[in-house]
Structure 1
Amino acid sequence: MENSITKLFNIKYPLIQAGMIWNSGWRLASAVSNAGGLGLIGAGSMYPEVLHEHIQKCKKATKKPFGVNVPMLYPNIEEIMQIIVDEGVKIVVTSAGNPKTWTPFLKQNGITVVHVVSSVKFALKSQEAGVDAVVAEGFEAGGHNGREETTTFTLIPMVKEKLKIPVIAAGGIASGRGMLAAMVLGADGVQVGSRFVASEESSAHINFKKEVVKAQDGDTHLTLKELAPVRLIKNKFYNELQELYKLNPSVEQLKEKLGRARAKKGMFEGYLENGELEIGQIAGLIHEIKPAAEIVQEIIEEYKSIKKSFC
């Protein structure tokens, strides 16, 4: 399956595991990398010293390439970037910020840089900033999302039409069928998040993993667009939030309702009623918690089988 993405990252399959906060520690990243994909450590939920520990453990757990996802809206960004350089990480996926801010620094240190975008406009800005590839993420995705509400099905061909660098599709992909569809639309690879939440190696709480498996079509919704758009499973916190919206709340009132560490409470600590439960729409297609290597193999085998049936 050699193509521009496998060559860029020196991996077997053009399949990247998303760097999801509270879900993607060194165990998941190393398992995906060992299985032939590209594993990512999600730095967004880590203090600098915790990230340092996860990078070192990941190095010991795999000899294959892995990377770090860095949402630029979080604090300690300077310290995080320096740790990445000092530890010799070769791949960084940035998100939630301007790619011009850190791409030159990372490139100067020999790091391959990818940036997550939700529109053609920001894909072009990322290319101009000098990134090596973009992750084009559709409205279906879990966690923090774009404001444009452009679906993966329409976003990928529009981005591919305009860019000269490789395009990685994300949002609503959890199977070989989804991977093939994305590649037919023009993607050079895929990024998978939600499916890996329900893996044995995910650092998510077992309560959250089971809730993902239980989720059905229509059980998620994109909300909090006034702060940072986020797709959530509908629970007690979500319902209270919707009641607050009926009162036309201010940004400050929304911030007060959200509070601190609500995502950690839901996904990492397993408080299903009062925590943020971030997951993609594709959760309705996830029915079982499995080892990450098995998930990778299932996706790739299904991709090859269905592709072969059309040839």
Structure 2
Amino acid sequence: MHKNNRITSLFNIQYPLIQAGMIWASGWKLASAVSNEGGLGIIGAGSMYPEILREHIQKCKNATSKPFAVNVPMLYPDLEKIMDIIIEEKVPIAFTSAGNPKTWTPILKANGIKVVHVVSSVKFALKAQEAGVDAVVAEGFEAGGHNGREETTSLTLIPMVAKEIEIPLIAAGGIATGKAMLAAMVLGADAVQVGTRFVASHEASSHLKFKEEVVKAKEGATQLTLKELAPVRLIKNKFFNDVQKLYQKGTSAEELKELLGRARAKKGMFEGDLDEGELEIGQIAGLIDEIKPAAEIVKEIINEFEAAKQQVSVL
């Protein structure tokens, strides 16, 4: 399919299609299913205690002989333990986010691990390249979960980053179909990272009620909020409305922090509390209308990508 693709060569995978390491969704079942189908599956360490992560890595190794990765948000309190486990378990690829790539990139690379850093701006893409990462994920404003303050959409971010960096580029944010994958690659990406579409899969570890909410979501169902703490895109539910009420009366970061409390994301996405939970998902949820097996999602995206290439060639 892609004989000279920089990402398939770098990761030793069949398709330039990566499943995002999403909090409360990306466990070993999802990661191994995507890797087995020719993409790159990622375990999301953001919601895992160190020993839970080790268990997921070991189960993933048993379930696939193909490469997989671990995503690590570097705001994590037990970061050193997490990194030690990734090194001890010889995970081939680490995706880092929300922190300075200079801190861990040299250590991971010295241990033979390929490093990819997630960014939301040209400035941070250049910093990541300077830190020695192997590739970057440029994530547009459409993406679910934690997001860039600049609100740069994928359509503008991807070509801007592609113009400035020399290392391989993975596009993310608003990509759930083969057509969007082709569009991102035309704009200069070497591969795409898909999150929201894989939340609505049987293998995602999220609660079924949350998956059903993603399928029900229409255009305009999500919004970026909590910029004073860390910008996050959420489904508009009771918790979201409570946040908006605070904004309307004029609020402080302290008040927002107090309302947010602890484990709000776990409550929503893992435990299925659709009122009080934080429901993180991308804008593209409005296009998704079915929960299906991860392998089928990979096949569908790749088949649509190939068909779209043929369609475009006759325009």
Category of TM-score, reference length = shorter chain: over 0.9
Counting aligned pairs with the same residue, the percent is: 76
Number of residue equivalences? 311
**2:153 matched residue in structure 1:** 151
Q: Which runs of 5+ in 2 are unaligned?
A: none
Whole-Å Cα distance in 1 between the matches of residues 250 and 56 of structure 2?
42
Per-residue deviation, residues 17-74 of structure 1 (Å, max 9, x unmatched): 0000000000000000000000000000000010000000000000000000000012
Whole-Å Cα distance in 1 between the matches of residues 224 and 50 of structure 2?
29
**1:27 matched residue in structure 2:** 29
**1:57 matched residue in structure 2:** 59
Query: Amino acid of the residue matched to residue 161 of structure 1?
Result: K
Whole-Å Cα distance in 2 between the matches of residues 147 and 118 of structure 1?
8
Note the C-alpha offset of 1:247. 2.0
- Could you tell me which of 102, 126, 129 is aligned with 2:128? 126
**1:38 matched residue in structure 2:** 40
Per-residue deviation, residues 208-256 of structure 1 (Å, max 9, x unmatched): 0000000000000000011111000000000011001112211111100
Query: Amino acid of the residue matched to residue 25 of structure 1?
Result: G
Note the C-alpha offset of 1:130. 0.1
RMSD of Structure 2 on Structure 1 (CA) = 0.5
- Could you tell me which of 267, 285, 288 is aligned with 1:286? 288
**1:163 matched residue in structure 2:** 165
SS in 2 for 1:102: helix
1:275 equivalenced with 2:284 (yes/no) = no
Question: In the TM superposition, what are the counterparts of 1:1-311 in structure 2 within 5 Å?
Answer: 1-2=2-3, 3-311=5-313
TM-score w.r.t. structure 1 length? Answer: 0.99
Whole-Å Cα distance in 2 between the matches of residues 30 and 161 of structure 1?
33
Whole-Å Cα distance in 2 between the matches of residues 95 and 24 of structure 1?
15
TM-score w.r.t. structure 2 length? Answer: 0.98
SS in 1 for 2:103: coil
Query: Amino acid of the residue matched to residue 245 of structure 2?
Result: E
Question: Which 4+ stretches in 1 moved above 2 angstroms?
Answer: none
Per-residue deviation, residues 163-215 of structure 1 (Å, max 9, x unmatched): 00000000000000110110010000000000000000000000000000000
Query: Amino acid of the residue matched to residue 195 of structure 1?
Result: R
SS in 2 for 1:228: coil
Whole-Å Cα distance in 2 between the matches of residues 230 and 237 of structure 1?
13
Whole-Å Cα distance in 2 between the matches of residues 310 and 42 of structure 1?
35
Query: Amino acid of the residue matched to residue 248 of structure 1?
Result: G
Whole-Å Cα distance in 2 between the matches of residues 55 and 75 of structure 1?
20
SS in 1 for 2:15: coil
SS in 2 for 1:37: coil
Whole-Å Cα distance in 1 between the matches of residues 71 and 189 of structure 2?
20
